[in-house]
Amino acid sequence: MSKNGTSWGSAILSGFITFAMLILLGLAVAMVVVPKVMGGMSLTVLTGSMEPGIHPGDVVVTKGIDKESAKDLQIGDVIVFLPYPDDPTLVTHRIMATSVSGEGYSFVTKGDNNNAYDPWNPVRDFQVRGEVLYVIPKIGWVKQALGPYGPWAIPGVGILVIGYAVVTYLSSFRRTRDEEDPDRVDPEGSADEPDEDDVLVAPRRAFIEESPL
């Protein structure tokens, strides 16, 4: 293959690796770093109750909400909450109404794709765990398949891709330097100096070739 063909191939590979690296780093930040900073979490949606905005397999990323900050929630916000205080199952639905009493704030919730309000209403402020910041489509199926390794799989792959990109870049840089300066002195000896074996062999070959038959 020609040098130009090799250069184009290296450029395409480098571009693909860079693109993949940026995507993986973006996912790592969106799914791990942001929820950690915001005191929230990233959760995989398993049902279609919030379609068409949120589909099964999507990941919702939340910021943390406690009893004190729940007072800032408004109608239309999508929240993650415990439908029943003694049940660890989390639900992601939209606030349809709010109220306040001596016991605190409470919310009426409903799935966008449901015809009726949730049967467990009202949801009390201490049951709310987070407010949805954004949705990442379909990546939740990958997260579910990876199980407990899911939260660290994407950052781990991102680190591997970065390492591979660095090695590829350094190799490409060295090849380019060698092509631009073919007479560059090698650390183990000069490229223009013949080896000892070449010095001894060359005269013998000349003698044989010039001797008459």
Q: Within a domain: residue 199? A: no
Q: Could you tell me the residue range of the domain that residue 58 belongs to? A: 37-142
Residue type, 162: I
Euclidean distance between CA atoms 127 and 84, whole angstroms: 8
Write down the residue that tokens 């919030």 correspond to: 50
Neighbours of 105 (CB within 10 A): 19
| Count of domains for the chain | 1
In a domain, 183, yes or no: no
pLDDT (tens digit, 0 to 9) for every residue of the chain, 213 residues total? Answer: 555 555 676 677 777 777 877 787 788 788 888 999 999 999 999 999 999 999 999 999 999 999 999 999 999 999 999 999 888 899 999 999 999 999 899 999 999 999 999 999 999 999 999 999 999 998 888 777 766 666 566 666 666 766 766 776 677 667 666 666 555 555 555 445 555 554 444 444 433 344 344
CB within 8 Å of 45: residues ≥ 6 apart: 54, 55, 56, 57, 58, 59, 60, 92, 140
Q: Is there a domain that residue 157 lies in? A: no
| Residue 49: inside a domain | yes
Residue 46 resides in a domain: yes
Q: Is 77 a member of any domain?
A: yes
Q: What is the pTM of this model?
A: 0.66
Q: How far is CA 86 from CA 90, 126, 199, in A?
A: 11, 12, 88
Residue 180: inside a domain: no
Read off the CATH number of the domain in which 121 is found.
Answer: 2.10.109.10
Backbone angles phi and psi of 138, in degrees to 5: 65, -10
Residue 172 within a domain: no
